């Protein structure tokens, strides 16, 4: 797996037998991986040998954490790569799924703001795998790379522009300290709740130090 394929990257595997940490797999997970042998990288501590991954089923309640040996990765696709491919432009279901149709407007907004971004969630999974996982009422989950400080005025402007789209956008900033909801960054004075590989942490500045959430 590419070293930059972090949380939210989608990984193609050979099937359920490639996974460790859960045995036996529930029936729904076995069926899902037989049909679509892809998993998503979770935000949890990895090792030199294994990666934390998640299996997603047909409905929201079907989610399962597992571990994948790095050597078992057959293909890795990051959200940023999905954005660069712009596969939604020729997607046969774009007319029926508002979240897919909205990606072109999102791409224009992100290009204007010079932000690296990508779709995650059901939309990202569908773009990577070809499986019809998004539906007409799906939210549009996005991740924005934020290796350096994103100013609050710029964040508010982006948040307002995304709110005008005809689909609800759930946006996460990927900061050096962890994942931060754009809505919280815009609407809260802090400290902010970050999702990290070692659990939730609180930070007054997501680009500096954190404190354990309590």
Q: Which residue in the list 14, 141, 174, 205 is annotated as catalytic?
A: 141
pLDDT at site 1 = 43
For the chain, give the percent of residues with pLDDT over 70: 95
2 domain residue, yes or no: no
Same-domain status, 71 and 91: no
> End-to-end CA distance of the chain, in Å?
34
Looking at the fold, whether 104 and 201 belong to one and the same domain comes out as: yes
Nearest to 121 by CA among 4, 2, 8: 8
Q: Which of 33, 53, 77 lies at the terminal end of a domain, its last residue?
A: 77
3 within domain boundaries: no
12, two tokens: 């193609």
Q: Is the pLDDT of residue 190 over 60?
A: yes
20, 111: one domain: no
Q: Which of 54, 77, 100 is the last residue of a domain?
A: 77
In a domain, 1, yes or no: no
Half-sphere exposure of 109 (CA within 13 A, CB side): 22
Q: What is the pLDDT of residue 66?
A: 95
pLDDT tens digits for 52-109? 999 998 887 899 999 999 999 999 999 999 999 999 999 999 889 999 999 999 999 9
Provide the whole-model pTM: 0.92
What mean pLDDT, rounded, does the chain reach?
Answer: 92
The Cα angle at residue 5 between residues 85 and 194, in degrees rounded to 5: 110
pLDDT score for 2: 47
Query: What would the pLDDT profile of 15-38 be if each residue is shown by its tens digit?
Result: 999 999 888 899 999 999 999 999
Q: Tally the domains of the chain.
A: 2
Candidate list 139, 170, 174, 205, residue with the active-site label: 139
Place 150 in a pLDDT band, splitting at 50, 70 and 90: very high
Same domain as 117, residue 46: no
Co-location of 208 and 107 in the same domain:
yes
pLDDT of residue 133 exceeding 50, the answer is: yes
| Count of residues making up the chain | 214
Could you tell me if residue 14 is inside a domain?
Answer: yes
| pLDDT at 209 > cutoff 80 | no
Of 42, 60, 77, the residue at which a domain comes to its end is 77
DSSP string, 150-163: PPHHHHHHHHHHHH
- What's residue 22's pLDDT? 82
> Is 141 assigned a catalytic role?
yes
- Residues 116, 180, single domain; the answer is yes
**Is-catalytic flag, 205?**
no
Q: Are residues 165 and 177 in the same domain?
A: yes
The whole domain housing 52 covers 10-77
Q: What is the 3-state secondary structure (H, E, C) of 162-183?
A: HHCCCCCEEEEEEECCEEEEHH
Note whether residue 168 is domain-resident. yes
Q: Is there a single domain that holds both residue 65 and residue 102?
A: no
Is the sign of the CA dihedral 75, 78, 84, 89 positive or negative?
A: positive
């Amino acid at each position: 797996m590419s070293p930059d394929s972090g949380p939210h990257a989608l990984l193609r595997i050979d099937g359920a037998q490639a996974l460790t940490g859960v045995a036996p797999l529930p029936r729904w997970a076995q069926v899902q991986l037989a049909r679509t042998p892809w998993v998503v990288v979770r935000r949890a501590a990895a090792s030199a040998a294994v990666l934390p991954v998640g299996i997603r089923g047909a409905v929201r309640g079907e989610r399962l954490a597992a571990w994948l040996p790095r050597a078992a990765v057959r293909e890795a696709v990051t959200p940023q790569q999905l954005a660069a491919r712009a596969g939604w432009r020729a997607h046969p279901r774009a007319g029926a799924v508002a979240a897919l149709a909205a990606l072109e407007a999102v791409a224009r907004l992100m290009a204007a703001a010079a932000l690296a971004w990508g779709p995650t969630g059901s939309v990202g999974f569908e773009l990577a795998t070809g499986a019809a996982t998004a539906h007409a009422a799906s939210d549009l989950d996005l991740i924005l790379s934020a290796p350096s400080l994103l100013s609050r005025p710029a964040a508010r402007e982006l948040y307002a522009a995304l709110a005008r789209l005809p689909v609800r956008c759930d946006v996460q900033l990927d900061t050096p300290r962890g994942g931060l909801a754009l809505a919280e960054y815009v609407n809260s004075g802090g400290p902010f709740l970050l999702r990290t590989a070692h659990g939730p942490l609180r930070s007054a500045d997501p680009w500096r130090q954190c404190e354990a959430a309590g």
